[in-house]
Amino acid sequence: MRFYIVFFIAILLDQVSKIWVRLHLPTGDSLEIWTGILHFTHYENSGAASSMFQGYGRLFVPVAILAVVFVLYFRRKGHLNRWLLDVGAALFAGGAIGNAIDRVLFNQVTDFIVFQSSNGIMNVADLVLNLAILLLGLDQLLKYWRNRRTRYYHKI
């Protein structure tokens, strides 16, 4: 159940934030959120990360669907049975679907989050995808440490 709750919350937060930006911030305009750290700039990206492949955004829809199918398959097989794996997979699937919805409906993705320390512009789905990768990596690191500790104590 946790997987589906996280999955739908990720999609909901992404879509609601994009709708708010489309309704309240004209394309190209900026809004200061946290002085010197974060601002919103409305940008419509018809490509992928860093505006690569402009005009080919819809080609990433099948990739997103395939990624979600793989996540659901691995969940069903019981391979995503740890808490961090489950939440990370849900965030990954939710972020992928969040951007896929934009690509299907508008042939582009609404980006608006700009951190002063980076050169890119993102949206909530992108942030969720990054968080998912961090959680999945952390899970693997913790698994490695647990296995290493278990092997060490079995030798004693």
Q: Give the model's confidence band at 155: pLDDT under 50 very low, under 70 low, under 90 confident, else very high.
A: low
How far, in Å, CA of 154 to CA of 126, rounded?
A: 42
Q: Give the model's confidence band at 53: pLDDT under 50 very low, under 70 low, under 90 confident, else very high.
A: low
Mean pLDDT across the chain: 90
| pLDDT one-digit tens code per residue, 93-132 | 999 999 999 999 999 999 999 998 777 899 999 999 999 9
Amino acid at 66: L
Residue with tokens 């512009």: 121
Please count the structural domains in the chain: 1
Please tell me the predicted confidence (pLDDT) of residue 119: 76
Please tell me the predicted confidence (pLDDT) of residue 35: 84
Q: Which of 34-43, 46-55, 95-104, 141-150 has the lowest mean pLDDT?
A: 46-55
Give the predicted TM-score (pTM) of the model: 0.86
How far, in Å, CA of 126 to CA of 26, rounded?
A: 21
Please tell me the predicted confidence (pLDDT) of residue 47: 74
Q: What is the mean pLDDT of the segment spanning 44-72?
A: 83
How far, in Å, CA of 64 to CA of 14, rounded?
A: 15
How far, in Å, CA of 34 to CA of 125, rounded?
A: 20
Cβ 132 vs Cβ 92: under 8 Å: yes
Please tell me the predicted confidence (pLDDT) of residue 98: 97
- Residue 147, domain extent: 2-155
Q: Give the model's confidence band at 54: pLDDT under 50 very low, under 70 low, under 90 confident, else very high.
A: confident
| pLDDT one-digit tens code per residue, 66-101 | 999 999 999 999 888 899 999 999 999 999 999 999
How far, in Å, CA of 62 to CA of 150, rounded?
A: 41
Q: Which residues are catalytic?
A: 111, 126
